[in-house]
Homo-oligomer: A and B are copies of this chain.
Amino acid sequence: MGIDNRIGIGLMGLGVVGSGVAKALLEKAGQLTKQAGGTLVLEKVLVADIDKHRPVQMAPGLLTQDPRRILDSPNIGIVVELIGGEDPAAAYIESALKNGKHVVTANKDVMAKFGPELLQLADQNGVEILYEASVGGGIPLLLPLKQSLAANDISSIRAIINGTTNYILTKMSQDGLSFHIALREAQEEGYAEADPAKDVEGLDAAYKLAILATSAFQSTVRPSDIYCQGITRLGEADFLHARELGYEIKLLAIAKKTEGAIEARVHPVLIPADYLLAKVTGVFNAIQIEGDLVGQVLFYGKGAGSLPTASAVVADIIAVARSIRGPRPEPMPAGTVVQDMVPVKPIFDLVSPYYLRMNIADQPGVLAQIAHVLGDRSISIASVIQKRADPVTHSAEIVIMTHPAREQFMDDALAEMAKLSVVREICNFIRVEG
């Protein structure tokens, strides 16, 4: 935009990611100009407080507290929104698109909730909105989905897209820590926030899954469509049993496209220990995508952090710059605007194998009663582990693995079993994947 192949950039937000982007734009100017086919010029940077001390050196006059200096500037062709959160970021993005500016954003909240509408708005205004950094940090996902896998019908996504929970689960699995101790370690390491609810309840993963699923299936999947269960109920015993049965426990974000419906859910799963996804440890992310031609591919890397996220943001800036440097804007790549509307299945319709862990009375006939409740709902048992009873409490722990069953029936069975006097506690039930 503008003369001399100058492409003006307005950066909104100079936090962790914004600083990384500003640093890359300033320090790698030569390389980026070559890549973008034009000079990327940082015109304005929106900050909350102009006088705050910052680690990134900025030319005087670059900073502003007034969003209109970016959104209305004729010198700015690309607005890079890195404020995060829904408000006021969503309004800024909308305003930028309406003003005919391309938008690059890392905002998962906005894209998960309003992605399809913003893509349409961009299309109407002949501009692009790119948001690779909103899922999986610097891991290439949305571009490969849209381009490299364009010939595929995507049938499933199975993803570890929350580093905090994967770190906690790794600690619980490898070091035998309880959830609370592992969480505290994650907080001490800076991997979990003081209020960890969004991560440990699976909400962060659900937002990212909404973006991935919408992109993969070309059909709107909202965060509110996604069944979401966190990791707070997992106990040390679950990890021990899982290992014994040949599984790992992971918080997976899962989306599948089946005949006429989409499945989208975030919850802990047992996955076979020899799957590559099961071997992804620590704060790393891994996203496995299955297509009819390509089979399974997996993308792995750091899902957060200043520089990895900046890597994706700057790549998007380069892609937009390439498309605007010619005499006409490149037409929207096909498939960026959501076309189909496939319904999202409620969790009750899920069909999955289950792992159940219960505390039962140590007396004859208990297993028969439990089997009866399950059998009545056409749930068949694949295997049972019963541990030695506790002579003091006269109770025993039992683990049941079922064959695939409908969640609704399983839910029913759990309610019924809870009423049995011989069942002391239903400690946990975990879906099995793969």
Contact = CB atoms under 8 A, between A and B. Distances in A.
Interface of A: 20, 24, 28, 31-32, 34-37, 132, 137-140, 143-144, 147-153, 274, 276, 279-281, 291-302, 305, 307-308, 310-312, 314-315, 318-319, 322, 325-328, 330-331, 333-335
A24 B293 contact: yes
Contacts of A276: 276, 279-280, 300
A34 B339 CA distance: 11
A333 B328 contact: no
The 9 closest A-B pairs by CB, nearest first: A140-B148, A151-B314, A297-B301, A138-B294, A293-B311, A294-B311, A298-B300, A140-B144, A293-B307
Contacts of A298: 298-301
A140 B138 contact: no
A31 to B, nearest CB: 8
Contact of A318 (B24, B151, B318, B325): B151
Most chain B beta-carbon neighbours within 10 Å: one of A150, A310, A335? A150
A301 B295 contact: yes
A295 B307 contact: yes
A76 to B, nearest CB: 20
B151 A315 contact: yes
B148 A144 contact: yes
Contacts of A302: 294-297
A151 B153 CA distance: 30
A251 to B, nearest CB: 18
B330 A330 contact: yes
A34 B24 CA distance: 36
B279 A319 contact: no
A311 B149 contact: yes
18 contacts: A20-B293, A34-B335, A140-B144, A140-B297, A147-B318, A147-B319, A150-B314, A151-B318, A291-B311, A293-B308, A294-B301, A295-B302, A295-B308, A296-B301, A297-B299, A297-B301, A326-B328, A326-B331
Contacts of A143: 143-144, 147-148
